[in-house]
Chain A
Amino acid sequence: MGAIGYLYKKTLINRAKTALRKPATYFLLAMILFYFTIVPMSLKTLVADTGIGTPEGMAGMLTVIAFWLIPANLIAYAKRRGLVYRGSDVHFLFPAPVSPKRVLIYAYVRTLFMQILINLFAVVYGGMLFLVDGWRLALYFVFSIIVENLLEGSIMLLLYGSERMQERQRRLVVKTAYSLVVILLLMAVFTYLREGLTANLLARFLHSDMIQMVPVIGWYIAVVHLLLLGPTAVNVAGCVCYGLFLIAMLTAAWRMKCTGAYYEDAMKFADDYEEVLASRNQGDAVRRLGKKQKFKQASIRWRGKGAAALFYRQLLEYKKSRFFIFNINSVVALLAGAGLSFLYKSEGGFGELETYRIFFVPAVAAYMIFIFAGFGGKWAKELKSPYTYLLPDSPFKKLLAATMIQHVQSLLNGCLMTVPCAVVIGLEPAEALLAIVFYMALSAGKLYSLAVAQIIAGSALGNTGRQLIQMLLLSVAIFVSVMGAILGMSIGGKLFALGIMNLFLILFTGIYMVIAALNFYNIET
């Protein structure tokens, strides 16, 4: 076995062994199994209602995916960004006497696991939801795993590894990929102009012959149509083009000279990837691959001393940030608010639950904050910084100073979510105010529960263990506030219930804050 084969084998075995020792793996597997069972059940009705539960429906879905995936991959490979190498690859593999082409294939094959999983998903659901014949699905699976990867792998080798291709030619490939997308869009417009706005306009467009004539993307779509729906003159012609293109690409990739000039770009990408991973491990979801974080010029007037330094340092960082204190949570909050308002408007209310409408905003907020609990933002970074602990001030002041801006952030995000809903749903000002307070209190609960989780987990449990404890603590706070709401309802109506709900939540957040402050002496505790 060669070095790369050995690397795959040992990595797989050791990862499996490590994963099986962690309880979180079983939890994750149970979640995946649950979703794999529940998703087709819920989708079945949806697919039947929309009338796409036929082989044509599946071909249409795969066509839409191809529109997005094929150009995206072409662009990524042409920019030498599509493959992920780690620092360890740069350290050991790049300087080793291993053919640079093999090093490319090694990174490409690593992406296959996910591809096989997605295609298995497509095959299983293709049979269940789209009623495609088993033999056709088997053929599609073989095509997507073997043939399609031979083609994509060859294109990847040529675009990533070619040393004859100049930067100008790479840019041309990127432009061509965008042009193909533009051609497809123009075809959509043409179909609309020719046929008008009819019920099955989208289906006509997705299965039209002209799409299957578009180079590369269209040829793939032709193969999919042939495999799932049977032969037509156009899809057979498309398949022939696909086959010829495959042979040409394979031959060119086989004969291409590659001495590893791409290592420079791959190394830069690997450095970036390691940085992003490190940022994500610290709970920073802002950092994106291939994009260096840009900072503006900014200044502040430093006031106070001790813990106040934490607050002003954060403020300076936010002032230098492109979007100030607004982040992905602000976008999610705004979208959630808009979505809820749209749902209310389009459905003409919440039906039987209309009387409980004041609880909808807090309920959606609770769900969002809970599922995004893993992203700790600046607070998670603060908890990992030794300076936070070394600052000569009381733990309580440090805790407050380090989280102050995040409270302001959650106030603004709470407003972004609540205000549109309050207008559309027709909430009273007091109700809207209580919904915003709920958002703020739960966000604060998320921050302090992370500190408490860190105390409980110590250094013995990893990130996953800490996150699970945090989610458990957050669940307890949400559960208690729901109990408060039920109690409030039984005593004095909905507004009173919302008030008690907030009170209970603030109480629990306060408890978490005190626990966090009392133990805020060193990183270990």
Chain B
Amino acid sequence: MLEVIHLTKKYGKTLAVDNVGFAVPDGQTGILLGPNGAGKSTVIKSIAGLLRFRGAIRIQGQDSRSLEAKKQFAYVPELPYMYDALTVREHMEFICRAYGIAVPEERIESLFHRFELSDKQDKLGNELSKGMMQKVSICCALVINPKVILLDEPMVGLDPAAIKELKSQILELKEAGCTVLISTHMLEMVKELWDVTFVMDKGHILGTYTKEALASEDLEELYFSVTKQTAEQDAGDGR
């Protein structure tokens, strides 16, 4: 379970995220939606432990900054960066050592096979295309069998086959009881994945919607109706 409690983050005098709170239970997929500058990246980076913030973030009930929480948490950033001098295979080995886990060879082979990286295992980080880097980044996140996984625009740069594979991986993670949080603008890509969605704008959560409650309304309609409503309110308030 992922819990974000009264999260507030300021950059100098600019308030990027104001008292944000939400939770994604085990085995569910949460979607973080919002226009550019809404504060999604700040929330995501705070959960990943990359920012200082006020409030609390809990991963499986533990403080997100603790090593115990980090052991159960995986993160796929929007822009993947590879170690120039490490091969694809060595990236996986490095992650296994960092998380202190012994992963069976078949598991790594299977991930490489599913993301069509089997013939790229000996390629160095600086020899990979953006899409390949994204695939390696996803494999490194999946290899640790996380309890909570955070994916920031994971579909960007992926080919259709990899997008399909990622979706099926996310469904498998859900079935295994993993908590998934995805931040994306590609609403079409996540329509069959989501359970709960959080619409953000100007550093606030505008609304939390579950799939059951929405019944027939799709994500795109929901997103535009919520953001339009807020824009109209702002215009009415003279903001």
Instruction: Check A95 against B82 for contact (C-beta < 8 Å).
Output: no
Instruction: Check B125 against A88 for contact (C-beta < 8 Å).
Output: yes
**Complex: A49 Cα to B37 Cα, angstroms:** 65
Known: A11-B86, A96-B70, A97-B70. A259 touches B94 (CB 8 A): no
Instruction: Check A263 against B49 for contact (C-beta < 8 Å).
Output: yes
- Bin chain B's interface residue count: 35 or more
Instruction: Check B50 against A267 for contact (C-beta < 8 Å).
Output: yes
Q: Hey, which chain B residues are within 8 Å of A2, CB to CB?
A: 97
Asked if A87 is at the interface of the complex by the 8 Å CB criterion, the answer is yes
Instruction: Check B52 against A264 for contact (C-beta < 8 Å).
Output: yes
Q: Hey, which chain A residues are within 8 Å of B84, CB to CB?
A: 88
Asked if A1 is at the interface of the complex by the 8 Å CB criterion, the answer is yes
Residue interface mask B84-97, A partner, CB < 8 A = 1: 11110011011101
Instruction: Check A14 against B124 for contact (C-beta < 8 Å).
Output: yes
Q: Which of B72-80, B166-174, B190-198, B208-216 contacts A (4 or more CB under 8 A)?
A: B72-80
Instruction: Check B79 against A95 for contact (C-beta < 8 Å).
Output: no
Asked if A18 is at the interface of the complex by the 8 Å CB criterion, the answer is yes
Known: A14-B124, A97-B67. A92 touches B49 (CB 8 A): no
Q: Hey, which chain A residues are within 8 Å of B65, CB to CB?
A: 259-260
Pick the residue among B49, B68, B100, B137 that contacts A91 (CB under 8 A).
B137
Q: Hey, which chain A residues are within 8 Å of B95, CB to CB?
A: 3, 92, 96
Known: A1-B97, A2-B97. A87 touches B49 (CB 8 A): no
Q: Hey, which chain A residues are within 8 Å of B202, CB to CB?
A: none
Q: Which chain A residues numbered 83 to 101 have a C-beta less than 8 Å away from chain B?
A: 86-88, 90-99
Pick the residue among A90, A97, A260 that contacts B98 (CB under 8 A).
A97
> B131: shortest Cβ distance to chain A, in Å?
16
Instruction: Check A99 against B81 for contact (C-beta < 8 Å).
Output: no
Instruction: Check B98 against A3 for contact (C-beta < 8 Å).
Output: yes
Chain A residue nearest in CB terms to B66: A259
**Complex: A458 Cα to B49 Cα, angstroms:** 43
Instruction: Check B81 against A87 for contact (C-beta < 8 Å).
Output: yes
Pick the residue among A3, A7, A14, A94 that contacts B49 (CB under 8 A).
A94
Known: A94-B49, A97-B67, A263-B49. A10 touches B98 (CB 8 A): no
Q: Hey, which chain B residues are within 8 Å of A96, CB to CB?
A: 70, 95, 98-99
Chain A residue nearest in CB terms to B126: A18
Q: Which chain A residues numbered 443 to 475 have a C-beta less than 8 Å away from chain B?
A: none
Q: Hey, which chain A residues are within 8 Å of B70, CB to CB?
A: 95-97
Q: Hey, which chain B residues are within 8 Å of A94, CB to CB?
A: 48-50
Q: Which chain A residues numbered 1 to 23 have a C-beta less than 8 Å away from chain B?
A: 1-3, 6-7, 10-11, 14-15, 18
Residue interface mask A92-112, B partner, CB < 8 A = 1: 111111110000000000000
> A106: shortest Cβ distance to chain B, in Å?
11
Instruction: Check B85 against A91 for contact (C-beta < 8 Å).
Output: no
Known: A97-B100, A259-B65. A92 touches B83 (CB 8 A): yes
Q: Hey, which chain A residues are within 8 Å of B81, CB to CB?
A: 86-88, 90-91, 274
Chain B residue nearest in CB terms to A163: B52
**Complex: A274 Cα to B79 Cα, angstroms:** 12
**Complex: A51 Cα to B82 Cα, angstroms:** 52
Instruction: Check A95 against B49 for contact (C-beta < 8 Å).
Output: yes
Pick the residue among A87, A92, A264 that contacts B91 (CB under 8 A).
A92
Q: Hey, which chain A residues are within 8 Å of B85, CB to CB?
A: 10-11, 14-15, 18
Known: A3-B94, A10-B90, A92-B91. A264 touches B50 (CB 8 A): yes
**Complex: A97 Cα to B90 Cα, angstroms:** 18
**Complex: A342 Cα to B21 Cα, angstroms:** 68
Chain B residue nearest in CB terms to A266: B50
Known: A92-B140, A95-B75, A260-B65. A3 touches B50 (CB 8 A): no
Which residue among B50, B75, B99, B125 has the maximum number of chain A CB atoms within 10 Å of its CB? B50
Asked if B71 is at the interface of the complex by the 8 Å CB criterion, the answer is yes
Asked if A261 is at the interface of the complex by the 8 Å CB criterion, the answer is yes
Q: Hey, which chain A residues are within 8 Å of B74, CB to CB?
A: 95
Instruction: Check A263 against B83 for contact (C-beta < 8 Å).
Output: no
Known: A3-B94, A95-B50, A96-B98. A88 touches B82 (CB 8 A): yes
> A168: shortest Cβ distance to chain B, in Å?
16
Instruction: Check A263 against B50 for contact (C-beta < 8 Å).
Output: yes
Q: Hey, which chain B residues are within 8 Å of A99, CB to CB?
A: 67
> B75: shortest Cβ distance to chain A, in Å?
4
Asked if B222 is at the interface of the complex by the 8 Å CB criterion, the answer is no
**Complex: A87 Cα to B98 Cα, angstroms:** 17
> A6: shortest Cβ distance to chain B, in Å?
5
**Complex: A166 Cα to B176 Cα, angstroms:** 43
Chain A residue nearest in CB terms to B93: A6
Asked if B51 is at the interface of the complex by the 8 Å CB criterion, the answer is yes
Q: Hey, which chain B residues are within 8 Å of A7, CB to CB?
A: 83, 86, 94
**Complex: A259 Cα to B124 Cα, angstroms:** 31
Chain B residue nearest in CB terms to A7: B94
Known: A14-B85, A92-B140. A264 touches B51 (CB 8 A): yes
Instruction: Check A14 against B87 for contact (C-beta < 8 Å).
Output: yes
**Complex: A88 Cα to B50 Cα, angstroms:** 13
> A256: shortest Cβ distance to chain B, in Å?
15
Known: A10-B85, A263-B49, A264-B52. A93 touches B79 (CB 8 A): no
Pick the residue among B50, B73, B91 that contacts A90 (CB under 8 A).
B50
Q: Hey, which chain A residues are within 8 Å of B68, CB to CB?
A: 97
Which residue among B70, B83, B91, B95 has the maximum number of chain A CB atoms within 10 Å of its CB? B83
Q: Hey, which chain A residues are within 8 Å of B45, CB to CB?
A: 267
Q: Hey, which chain A residues are within 8 Å of B80, CB to CB?
A: 91
**Complex: A11 Cα to B91 Cα, angstroms:** 11
Q: Hey, which chain A residues are within 8 Å of B83, CB to CB?
A: 7, 11, 86, 88, 92
Q: Hey, which chain A residues are within 8 Å of B79, CB to CB?
A: 87
Chain A residue nearest in CB terms to B79: A87
Instruction: Check B97 against A3 for contact (C-beta < 8 Å).
Output: yes
Residue interface mask A236-254, B partner, CB < 8 A = 1: 0000000000000000000
Q: Hey, which chain B residues are within 8 Å of A3, CB to CB?
A: 94-95, 97-98
**Complex: A235 Cα to B216 Cα, angstroms:** 82
Q: Hey, which chain B residues are within 8 Å of A90, CB to CB?
A: 50, 77, 81
Q: Hey, which chain A residues are within 8 Å of B48, CB to CB?
A: 94-95
Q: List 17 A-B contacts (CB under 8 A).
A: A2-B97, A7-B86, A11-B85, A14-B86, A86-B81, A88-B81, A90-B77, A91-B77, A91-B80, A91-B82, A92-B98, A95-B50, A97-B68, A97-B99, A263-B51, A264-B52, A274-B81
Q: Which residues of A approach B to under 8 Å, CB–CB?
A: 1-3, 6-7, 10-11, 14-15, 18, 86-88, 90-99, 259-261, 263-264, 267, 274
- State the 5 A-B residue pairs at the shortest beta-carbon distance, nearest first: A87-B81, A3-B98, A97-B70, A3-B97, A96-B98
- Additional A-B contact list (8), CB under 8 Å, known A92-B91, A93-B98, A267-B50: A14-B90, A18-B124, A90-B77, A92-B95, A95-B49, A97-B98, A259-B65, A263-B50
